[in-house]
Amino acid sequence: MYNSKIIGLGHFVPEHIVTNDELSTMMDTNDEWIQERTGIKERRWVKDSGDTTATMGVKAAKVAIERSGIDKDEIDFIIFATLSPDMYFPGPGVQVQEALDIKTVGALDVRNQCSGFVYAISVADQFIKTGMYKNVLVIGSELHSHGLDKTTRGRGVSVIFGDGAGAAVLTREEDGSKGILSTHLHSQGEHAKELVVEAPGMGTRWVTDIIEEGNADDESYFPHMNGQFVFKNAVVRFSEVIMEGLHKNSLEVTDIDMLIPHQANLRISQFIQRKFKLEDHQVFNNIQKYGNTTAASIPIALTEAWEEGKIKSGDTVILAAFGSGFTWGSVIMKW
């Protein structure tokens, strides 16, 4: 059985920067309130560029493929993680296949929200481990800004989210001590409605129902989050799934060279850092400038950490995420 390893990384974020002060002109909020609760100073929102979830994913993928050193036609499979597809169906995976003019390989869409990239990496890893595919393109991309309630009513959620994309190319690794050592995935559906967009949904309230009702106060198609409840669960599950990965590979907390947590809230990342007694150079955060980009947050952060030379050959790197579903997971890698 093979291991998989990442050989190319790329990311893309829109040029338009939205500061906390700018948000204060749309809703009753301020820079101090947002930074105190989330750590976020600014985020990127698509404005006039015409970018979509798929096009941002394509831009990130082009960088990752170029850096991987392989030709696009060597890609055997595409996995696209997002909660904000361009169309209800089909998903953006096939849009990437067309835009990159890749041969008719399979394209899979993953809908696991904040943990989407971790789930997608795990799927890619299994395909490579079993020998089914050699080179897999994994993308996480989100366009949140078009679907947020940018009023005081929605400020608790809307100030958090940003737009962007990240991508990775994984390939076969013959040396079993290198690459992705293990992945760990979990879910707890009983808490699904604590972080949710309820409508539109097949079998519940579809677009036609919303239009017919014409209820200006309907919040079902905006994100709802029970912030305190999510925070309390996140810090527990982050810790558990990181330790699960370490124990699986006979590693200790002291073996961690770089932890890339999902950028949900800087306070969550700081809590985990303190709990594991990690130094600043062992944890990478960029939520301060991008906000929460959901499935894109880990590949954007991973790319930036690598670009800045904070990840080196032989390092033990951990990816960890928690989000809607609830779903959570971790990836343990030897770089």
- We report the CATH number of the domain holding residue 326 as 3.40.47.10
Query: Which of the listed residues 112, 146, 173 is the one where a domain comes to its end?
Result: 173
For the beta carbon of residue 228, count every other beta carbon within 10 angstroms: 9
255 and 116 co-located in one domain: no
Instruction: Give the pair of three-digit tokens for residue 231.
Output: 């925070």
Give yes or no: residues 139 and 243 share one domain: no
Shared domain for 212 and 319, answered yes or no, is yes
The residue annotated as part of the active site, out of 3, 112, 233, 292, is 292
The total of structural domains in the chain comes to 2
Interval 192-246: pLDDT, tens:
999 999 888 878 888 888 888 888 888 887 889 999 999 999 999 999 999 999 9
Of the pLDDT bands very low, low, confident and very high (cuts 50, 70, 90), residue 100 is: very high
List pLDDT tens digits, range 263-311. Answer: 999 999 999 999 999 999 999 999 999 999 999 999 999 999 999 999 9
* Residue that is last in its domain, among 173, 208, 235: 173
Q: From 173, 206, 233, give the residue that closes a domain.
A: 173
The rounded distance, in Å, linking the Cα atoms of 31 and 22 is: 9
Report the SS3 class of residue 170: strand
Please report, rounded to a whole number, the percentage of residues in the chain having pLDDT higher than 90. 89
Residues 158 and 188 in one domain: no
Instruction: For residue 109, give the nearest of 67, 137, 145 by alpha carbon.
Output: 137
Q: Are 289 and 144 in contact (CB under 8 A)?
A: no
Q: Find the domain containing 309 and state its range.
A: 179-334
List strand residue ranges (DSSP E) for the chain, in order: 3-12, 17-19, 42-44, 77-81, 106-110, 136-142, 164-173, 179-187, 195-196, 224-225, 258-261, 316-323, 327-334
Which pLDDT score is estimated for 95? 98
User: Is the domain of 24 the same as that of 53?
Assistant: yes
The catalytic residue among 112, 144, 262, 286 is 262
Residues 63 and 10 in one domain: yes
Shared domain for 137 and 60, answered yes or no, is yes
What pLDDT is stored for residue 202 in this prediction? Answer: 79
Are residues 93 and 198 both part of a single domain?
Answer: no
75, pLDDT greater than 80: yes
State the pLDDT at residue 291. 98
- pLDDT of residue 177 exceeding 90, the answer is no
Residue 219 structure tokens: 């919040």
Q: Is there a catalytic annotation at residue 114?
A: yes
61 and 118 belong to one structural domain: yes
In 3D, which of 9, 29, 4, 6 has the Cα closest to residue 19? 29
**Tens of pLDDT, residues 3-20:** 999 999 999 999 999 999
| Residues 119 and 207 reside in one and the same domain | no
pLDDT of 116 above 90: yes
pLDDT at 208: 85
* 168 and 19 housed in the same domain: yes
d(CA 72, CA 26): 43
Same domain, 25 and 149: yes
The single residue of 3, 20, 112, 114 carrying the catalytic annotation is 114
Q: What local confidence, expressed as pLDDT, does residue 216 receive?
A: 82
